[in-house]
Amino acid sequence: LTSGSFTFKEGRFPEGFEQTTEITSPGMSMLFDAARLSDELALLKEDISDPDQIFTPIAQNLEWEDTYTTTLANGIWSMLRRKSSVFDILESIPRSHHAIYSVLAEMLKNGQIEK
């Protein structure tokens, strides 16, 4: 999906919903986390404001230390090497905008890519 909305609701899963992992976090905690991520995303978008922006990799190979985001960083790196825009990356990689903007911001900060 390229857009949508969600709601937090505690209780039983709807009939026919395939549950693979139980959600144990309280709804209010998830709501606060979502609000925090939304605020952080707004700040990230101040530095990367143009969705048509195409970033250029500086090095031949990506150097990435955060093991939690390595797969995402490699996916973004691959698209950047093909001259994809931020918009293209957001539309193609099935991760949150916050996660994608965070990785792009880290790549910029560490000198991996340039505008």
Residue 1 and residue 89: Cα distance in Å, rounded?
14
Q: What would the mean pLDDT of 95-114 be, rounded to a whole number?
A: 95
Q: Which residues pair with 57 in a beta bridge?
A: 113
Residue type at position 58: I
Residue 13 has pLDDT above 90, yes or no: no
Residue range 47-87, pLDDT digits in tens? 999 999 999 999 889 999 999 999 999 999 999 999 999 99
**Quick one: pLDDT at residue 3?**
65
The overall average pLDDT reported for the chain is 88
Question: At 110, is the secondary structure helix, strand, or coil?
Answer: coil
Q: Tell me: pLDDT of 34 over 90.
A: no
Q: What is the pLDDT of residue 22?
A: 74
- Which segments within the chain are labelled E, that is strand? 56-57, 113-114
For the cut 90, the answer to whether the pLDDT of residue 25 exceeds it is: no
Which amino acid appears at position 71 of this protein?
Answer: T
The span from the CA of 40 to the CA of 18, in Å, is 31
- β-bridge mates for residue 114, sequence order: 56
